[in-house]
Structure 1
């Protein structure tokens, strides 16, 4: 049995957060882009080069799906749509789930016509890349290429943000979007292929909601809506301090619950959570939410004790 399998079995005993597809859709269309939320990230040149979706466009999407009549009509349809996809095309990746939410949004919003999703770009037998979404924006009658991603990063240095699995880095992702994914449509071979599809891209948008987690200040209780990460040993010490043995309870979040805030008001005690997280078997970061009588209070990642050193080593600095 692998360490990952052992940890999955260990975490399966925890009280889990709930996945609400409609709440996740609302979060996906309404959340601001991660790189615009943190000064140390907006300093990256790639973050300033990307054509982030205009706030007015995001507001239009959010207002439509916020309408109670729209929710009543479409929420069951969204659940069925995602269920059918999971049966016919099983995929547990959070990025795929996020794309499926956007596919539904484009299909149902009256301002959009979904033309292509994950359009492959090939030339001479070589795959050059793909376009996440090609849509027609009906009010402006313009054909648009949308490049989207949902990303969660933990701060390792003042300017470096690393994914929980240490396989992804924010500055590298931004640079790839700016230098490769969006400029693809300018390549002559791609231009020729787009013409064969009857496409002429009028404009492009970048979209990257997510969350950025900073090291937990273990000397104080997290404030409302704080986003933090902490090692297992430090979380154990933090939770044992009298100041933090409070009304907060905890939920373990499966990946599809990483999007919208949790509405639950009950979870596990810190003791119950820590009882299940055995240091020798805890090898992968765990996303958790703290809840109180008002719902989700804050959110963070508990990481293995060696995670920070491994993350820092991955930077090669």
Structure 2
């Protein structure tokens, strides 16, 4: 269990930090996108890109010294996150990215705007997460950021990756990027020249199925989890993660060994392997072919 589909040497440098907030900040910057490429079957209305793995590795390398300082002196990060009143992990992820982008000494971006609303008369057309000027390319970029957890079903094809809310699917999110979020040609009087989706989090394979071909757009440099409705044979080695630990777990085990299993994310002790448990009666009926 858990070993078949992993890359032989996954780099997970966020685990070297002690403070939970700094570990999560490091994850948000250093982790690769959950997709290595935009699926070929996706019909793009407005073209966008994904940063490659090397880009995020470089960003982490440039940020390491700052992260080490914050690990010892996290007050600035703690105060910044106090602005966030919501418990939604996606908004927390966006705050971490915002905190990093504000530090112009560690990356080539100049932050031109954040959460920019596009309004036409009484109608709100949409909102842009980040608009940046890239000093290396000389181009204005529009970034949309999302933290997602998708569970694969059936043949693992694009149509069958579901969020914990089954209306939230991977294909729906990618279409939303293309059709809605990246529709704008300009923002803040700047012409948008490149569009990037920052799509991080984790993908989960079904544990109860035999190994299947995994789509080539799945990024194997990001750890894959498993999901299922059965309690794994090694259940004595699992503990349940707190919700905020879904971004990155605390350095030390945060709860007792799992005995009564409920819907949620579990981590195998002494590893960084993850299992998303879902009670079978609570799973929605699968869509008809």
What TM-score bracket applies, with the shorter chain setting the length?
0.7 to 0.9
Q: Once the two structures are superposed, what CA deviation does each residue of 1:180-211 show, in whole Å capped at 9, x if it has no partner? A: 211x213xxxx4xx3xx332222111111121
Give matches, 1:229-308, under 5 Å: 229-231=227-229, 234-235=230-231, 238-239=232-233, 244=234, 249-260=237-248, 263-264=251-252, 268-269=256-257, 273-275=258-260, 277=261, 282=262, 285-292=263-270, 295-296=271-272, 298-308=273-283
For the pair shown, which has the larger CA radius of gyration, 1 or 2? 1
1:311 Cα offset (Å): 5.1
* 2:89 paired with 1:94: yes
How far apart, CA to CA, are the structure 2 residues paired with 1:289 and 1:24? 16
Conserved 8 A contact 1:230-1:303: yes
Scaled by the length of structure 2, the TM-score of the pair is 0.76
Indicate conservation of the 8 Å contact 1:36/1:42, yes or no.
no
The TM-score with structure 1 as length reference comes to: 0.70
Matches of 1:165 and 1:77, distance apart in 2 = 37
Asked whether the equivalents of residues 156 and 311 of structure 1 are also in contact (C-alpha less than 8 Å), the reply is no
Distance 1:24 1:217, change over 3 A: same
Segments of structure 2 that go 5 or more residues without pairing to the other structure are 1-17, 211-222
Query: In the alignment, which residue of structure 1 is the partner of 2:179?
Result: 179
5+ residue gaps, structure 1, are 1-17, 220-224
Q: Secondary structure at the match of 1:151?
A: strand
Distance 1:26 1:258, change over 3 A: same
Alignment partners' CA distance in 2, 1:73 and 1:19: 11
2:120 aligned with 1:142: no
CA distance in 1, matches of 2:243, 2:135: 34
Q: How much is the aligned-residue C-alpha RMSD, in angstroms?
A: 3.0
Q: Compared with structure 1, are the counterparts of its residues 228 and 198 closer, same or farther at alpha carbon in structure 2 (3 Å cutoff)?
A: same
> Does 2:36 align with 1:42?
no
